[in-house]
Structure 1
Amino acid sequence: MNSPDDSDLLVACLCAAWCGTCRDYAAGFHALAERFPGARFLWLDVEDEADLLDDYDVENFPTLLIQRGDAVLFFGTMLPHHELLERTVRAFASMTPDESRHYAQADATRRTWQHDRNLRRALAERDGDA
């Protein structure tokens, strides 16, 4: 069986240093990143990255954002169970780019994410790559 294509995946955990759940989640999140070497895994503290994330209104931790190319596929709180995140990342990695785009546009909430939660675009703008 072919392994999923993770080369255009962005998996970001939006967290806070003061959050005990986030601290407990960090080691497993970083270990999961090693299982998807082509994906970009980011650990972003909402206070340290306030200029980047202030508009995201993160209220619960950990909040995950998963993006494939420009398609935002998931944005929300995910219980700190690494096996759930791994299954989610594998499912998104197994989609074709067309399936990802279709999934991202399949309902009103996800369509809103494409404009309001496009972290890849926000990072490029911040870093001057836009």
Structure 2
Amino acid sequence: MHSVTLNNDNRDDVAAALAGERWIVACLCAAWCGTCASYRAQFEEVAARHPDKFFLWIDIEDHADVVGDLDVDNFPTLLIQRHDVVAFFGTMLPDPHLAHRLVMSKAEQSDEELAATAVSSEERRQWQRDCNLRTLLGAALG
């Protein structure tokens, strides 16, 4: 496995990983979702191509205390974050090539470019307020 699945036993370890310097690529899904089930192997393919990044699988129903307020409209939803800057939050087609290209394009941006993009629209400013996984998990660990 190249990704980590959030569970009740590894929350502290995941919080420690999120506090590090690596990019975070999280897939928000649900166990009942057939698309998510078939996408899981593809998410692993993408994670294998990016061993320098922290890939995290989160079941939004099992971990509603962490992501309950996030507006997940459809599955799979990806959240990409560096430090405290949310670079992307949205539904993706379940295509590993698209996810790979998205991760690559975000990783190629400098910290300055990421910061500028993070405040470039109201939607992106909302991502910063509402979608920061470090903040969400920290609040859940309380």
Superposition TM-score tier, normalisation by shorter sequence: 0.7 to 0.9
Instruction: Please give the per-residue CA displacement for 1:31-76, whole angstroms capped at 9, x wherever unaligned.
Output: 2112111211111001111110110132311111111111111111
Cα drift, residue 106 of structure 1: 1.0
Change (3 A) 1:38 1:124: farther
Structure 1's consecutive aligned runs of 4 or more residues displaced over 6 angstroms after TM superposition are: none
C-alpha separation in 2, matches of 1:120 and 1:11: 12
Q: How many percent of aligned residue pairs carry the same amino acid?
A: 52
Query: How far apart are residue 81 of structure 1 and its match?
Result: 0.8
Question: Structure 2: where are the runs of 5+ without partners?
Answer: 1-20
| Counterpart residue number, 2:38 | 24
| Equivalent residue runs for 1:102-117 within 5 Å | 102-117=116-131
State the distance in 2 between where 1:44 and 1:112 align: 20
Query: Is 2:72 aligned against 1:58?
Result: yes
Give the aligned partner of residue 48 of structure 1: 62
CA contact (8 A) 1:10 1:120 kept: no
Q: Matches of 1:107 and 1:30 in 2, distance apart?
A: 31
TM-score, reference length from structure 1: 0.88
- Find out whether 1:124 has 2:141 as its counterpart: no
**Pairwise mapping of residues 48-87 of structure 1 onto structure 2 (< 5 A)?**
48-87=62-101
Residue 116 of structure 1: CA displacement?
0.8
Structure 1, unpaired ranges of 5+:
1-6
Q: How many residues align?
A: 122
The answer to whether the aligner puts 1:9 opposite 2:23 as a matched pair is yes
| Structure 1 counterpart SS, 2:75 | coil
Q: Report the CA distance between 1:103 and its aligned residue.
A: 1.1
Q: Letter of the aligned partner of 2:108 in structure 1? A: S
TM-score computed with the length of structure 2 as normaliser: 0.81
Find out whether 1:36 has 2:54 as its counterpart. Answer: no
1:109 Cα offset (Å): 0.6
